Structure 1
Amino acid sequence: MTTKWTKWVAIAGAMFALAAPGTNSEAASAPIRLALIEGMSGPFADAGAAVERNVRFAIERVNARGGVTLSDGAHPLELVVLDSQGSVEQALVQLRAAADRHIPFVLQGNGSAVAAALVAAIDKQNAREPDNRELFLNYSADDPALTGAGCSFWHFRFDAHAGMRMNALADVIARDKSVKHVYLLNQDYSFGHDVSTLARAALAARRPDIAIVGDEFHPIGRVKDFTPYIAKLRASGADAVVTGNWGNDLALLVKAAREQGFAGKFYTFYGNSLDAPAAIGEAGVKRVVAVADWHPNAGTAAPAAERLPHANAASSDAYYAAFRARFPAAHDDYALARIDVMIEMLAEAIGRAHDADPLAVAKALEGAKFENGFVRAWMRAEDHQLIQPLYVIEMDKAGTPGVRFDNEGSGYGFRTVLALPPGQTESPSECRMKRP
């Protein structure tokens, strides 16, 4: 009787486990959530939407392969979008919402001031609630301090910081002997001030003959008409502008320059970004230069001499083709390879850790190497800065040599003028990281 009863209890328990909600079977497939805290409304909503498309694309690719495998089985990744409205205050409100929902991974990038506030809040959150930690993955906030003096164990940057980008730009400016007078025009926040400081240092080191004829900052996201700034540029005698502007602040700036007939060159961090090429138009041909971790014409469109030695052109083209197939609308034509790299490296780290715990994943990300055929990169352990290739690119008409693809159906795209392998983009770090 005891044996039969024991068997019945075992059978009944097994049947209950199969039928009951929240069973091990369901837990094994529960999604691992990623909170995207970004400005989905407000002046930079288009930039937020572009980021969301890229994150969703990368997550879909991981999930199509079965997601990530933990000790209890396979789990898909799931994106949770939280609107910060582009403000620090709302970003912190949304971070608290993510913590309340026990979402372990936080993604943000549009705005270094927002990123710095999130880093500080996550440091406090993780110290206060070690059972509810968060890991911050940064895809665009470029303030060098985030992996320098203000570095955090809980923060990983997957974009080149402003100093790395400026060094690449300055290498190209130094070669352009027509540049004699430079105007620095940037957004008035930490990143914009970094661009100004870094530009002065980089140009002084490479071209001490260049005169800085203006160094100005404007409110971020508030200027609707840049005509007065263009008037100052023209009055200064500048033949080139260096700017770290992004989003509407870049698109409106270059649009005003076109309308007001400013003939100087623009050396930009984001001249190839969303809306910018269409806003610049014909006036940007051979005059707008940008720096990027990757661009669509880095593949077969690039002459062999302008390709990185490790990069497979067909792999680059295949990635871009897959993105365009997923998002065929012209306005959606803004693929950010570094976001794909970020999600892939996160998935690999979760798989290596066999755990979605932020501490375990952070340790797995430190020193991690990545290669997908056209991007070769590694996560520097001492400061959590991704070391990756950089391209300096020049705007031209689609169909000209090196410009197979245009941007957003504008008829204008970019060709590679300088390709730097990851070993040449690396710079020293001031990070003194406190580890848990």
Structure 2
Amino acid sequence: MQFPVKFLAASLIAASAAGAWAQQGETVKIAWLDPLSGLMASVGTNQLKTFQFLAEEFNKKNVAGVKFEIIGIDNKLSPQETTSALRSAMDQGARYVVQGNGSGPALAIMDALEKHNARNPGKEVLYVNYAAVDPDLTNSKCSYWHFRLDADTSMKMEALTTFMKDQADIKKVYLINQNYAHGQQVSKYAKENLKAKRPDVQIVGDDLHPLAQVRDFAPYIAKIKQSGADSVITGNWGSDLALLIKASNDAGLNVKFYTYYAVTTGTPTAMGAASDGKVYQVGYSHYNAPGPMVPLMAEFKKKFNDDLYTADVYTVYAMLSEAFVRVKSTEPAKVAAVLEGMKFKSFNGDVEMRKADHQLQQGLFITRWQKTDAKNPYSPENTGYTLAPVKYYEAYVSSTPTSCEMKRPS
């Protein structure tokens, strides 16, 4: 009996290896379409470096044995430029596209791929969204070819206000946000959630300002000071958050900021010592999170003198690699089918791509800006400060329902 058993075991191992390495050596081209010019160029540049850096890391070892190649194109934060960039990327052989800054460009990609994929069976392109968080993208405007890795605006607000409802010092809240879909949604969900969880809290201001155009936030800070607010909720990112907090500190405004994107380039420097204990962030990770990101962040900083803060870029590669193995193919149509409902492990633990709307389900952290210490040693932009975790919420806490009516290809 020993020979047959050994033969069977060897056969199973061989079959398993063949399945896992069916695409070994194949190059997977991923088009990155985000801003490399304008006021948000620093954020886009950092994220492109992150994609290139982690591609190199995953090319050393990934379960599918593929090689990732990044094609970076400046979309100038414009839907029209994004459509042109997408065409250029497909002409260069990209079958996967990633984007994260702005819901306008996200919708442009989704609309273009719906048409392209319907007209070109066998040449489909798949869109992985790593940061565009407008809830409509996985609700009324959901698309089979779109998969989102970041928690959407409503999910983050659910976690943020769950934390805020227990903060007795919050009495008056001011809302200031960028005037586009995400910013409008932050305002909407903040008001709805606070009304339900803390009806005693007053909304004393609600401003929307142009995206990536304001260079001086002093007039807005004056309004916040005059309102008597003790807290500010903002979904601002990039220069719009860095300049807002800088103006607040310059004016000596004594409020707490509850944010979505305090990690983005320039914001840690703007916060500095003046914001100690006064800025909170909600997100799927943090600077000092245990796991594979800690050594990768250290290596990234050593190589670029910059901070790796868009951690779900890691999830892009982990998710695609796992999907390639499961379907024994890198074809986007086959990969999309297996991604629906797929559970897999990323840097932040076990996550699930919800089948109903293609929204990743994952836990969220609330972090606070404070001095680095032995437990939280990572210092962004060499400030001597960090965002330290103060609360963690399991995925079910922030998981919001979806109205998506997914139209799947026949």
TM-score w.r.t. structure 2 length? 0.90
The equivalent position to 2:237 in structure 1, one of 222, 243, 246, is: 246
The equivalent position to 1:322 in structure 2, one of 271, 278, 296, is: 296
CA distance in 1, matches of 2:258, 2:406: 33
Does residue 166 in structure 1 map to residue 166 in structure 2? no
Any stretches of 5+ residues in structure 1 without a counterpart?
Answer: 1-26, 300-315
Instruction: Please give the per-residue CA displacement for 1:62-95, whole angstroms capped at 9, x wherever unaligned.
Output: 2101x564xxxx5311111111122111111101
Q: Tell me if structure 2 keeps the 8 A contact 1:68–1:76.
A: no
CA distance in 1, matches of 2:389, 2:123: 44
Q: Tell me if structure 2 keeps the 8 A contact 1:171–1:206.
A: yes
Q: What code does the residue aligned with 1:112 have?
A: S
Q: Tell me if structure 2 keeps the 8 A contact 1:99–1:132.
A: no
CA distance in 2, matches of 1:34, 1:222: 30
SS at match of 1:431: coil
Does residue 340 in structure 1 map to residue 314 in structure 2? yes
The equivalent position to 1:408 in structure 2, one of 374, 378, 381, is: 381
Q: What's the CA shift for 1:351? A: 2.1
The aligned counterpart of 1:371 is 345
Aligned residues: 387
CA distance in 2, matches of 1:39, 1:111: 10
Cα separation, partners in 2 of 1:382 and 1:32, compared to 1, 3 Å: same
The aligned counterpart of 2:363 is 389
The equivalent position to 2:268 in structure 1, one of 267, 272, 277, is: 277
Instruction: Please give the per-residue CA displacement for 1:154-193, whole angstroms capped at 9, x wherever unaligned.
Output: 0000000001100111012111111111110000001100
The equivalent position to 1:110 in structure 2, one of 101, 104, 114, is: 101
Does residue 256 in structure 1 map to residue 252 in structure 2? no
The aligned counterpart of 1:428 is 401
The equivalent position to 1:77 in structure 2, one of 61, 64, 68, is: 68
Q: What code does the residue aligned with 2:90 have?
A: A
The aligned counterpart of 2:212 is 221
SS at match of 1:233: helix
Q: What's the CA shift for 1:424? A: 2.5
Instruction: Please give the per-residue CA displacement for 1:375-418, whole angstroms capped at 9, x wherever unaligned.
Output: 2211001110000111000110112x743222121111011111
Q: Tell me if structure 1 keeps the 8 A contact 2:368–2:388.
A: yes
Instruction: Please give the per-residue CA displacement for 1:237-294, whole angstroms capped at 9, x wherever unaligned.
Output: 1111100000111111101111011111100011233221210112211110001111
Cα separation, partners in 2 of 1:326 and 1:185, compared to 1, 3 Å: closer
Q: What's the CA shift for 1:220? A: 0.3
TM-score w.r.t. structure 1 length? 0.85
Q: What's the CA shift for 1:53? A: 2.1
Q: What's the CA shift for 1:140? A: 0.2
Q: Tell me if structure 1 keeps the 8 A contact 2:283–2:366.
A: yes
Any stretches of 5+ residues in structure 2 without a counterpart?
Answer: 1-22
Q: What code does the residue aligned with 2:206 have?
A: D
The aligned counterpart of 1:41 is 37
SS at match of 2:98: strand
Q: Tell me if structure 1 keeps the 8 A contact 2:122–2:333.
A: no
Q: What's the CA shift for 1:331? A: 4.8
Q: Tell me if structure 2 keeps the 8 A contact 1:168–1:291.
A: yes
Cα separation, partners in 2 of 1:331 and 1:219, compared to 1, 3 Å: farther
CA distance in 2, matches of 1:199, 1:156: 25
The equivalent position to 2:49 in structure 1, one of 45, 53, 74, is: 53
The aligned counterpart of 2:28 is 32
CA distance in 2, matches of 1:30, 1:329: 27
The aligned counterpart of 1:188 is 179
Identity %: 38
CA distance in 1, matches of 2:295, 2:309: 10
SS at match of 2:141: coil
Q: What's the CA shift for 1:337? A: 2.3
CA distance in 2, matches of 1:378, 1:342: 13
Q: What's the CA shift for 1:47? A: 0.8
CA distance in 1, matches of 2:140, 2:346: 31
Q: Tell me if structure 2 keeps the 8 A contact 1:402–1:416.
A: no
SS at match of 1:115: helix
The aligned counterpart of 2:5 is none
Does residue 353 in structure 1 map to residue 349 in structure 2? no
SS at match of 2:247: helix
The aligned counterpart of 2:17 is none
SS at match of 1:332: coil
SS at match of 2:274: helix
Give structure 1 regions of 4+ aligned residues with deviation exceeding 4 angstroms.
none
Q: What's the CA shift for 1:203? A: 0.5
Q: What's the CA shift for 1:200? A: 0.3
Q: Between Structure 1 and Structure 2, whose CA radius of gyration is higher?
A: 1
Q: What's the CA shift for 1:327? A: 3.4
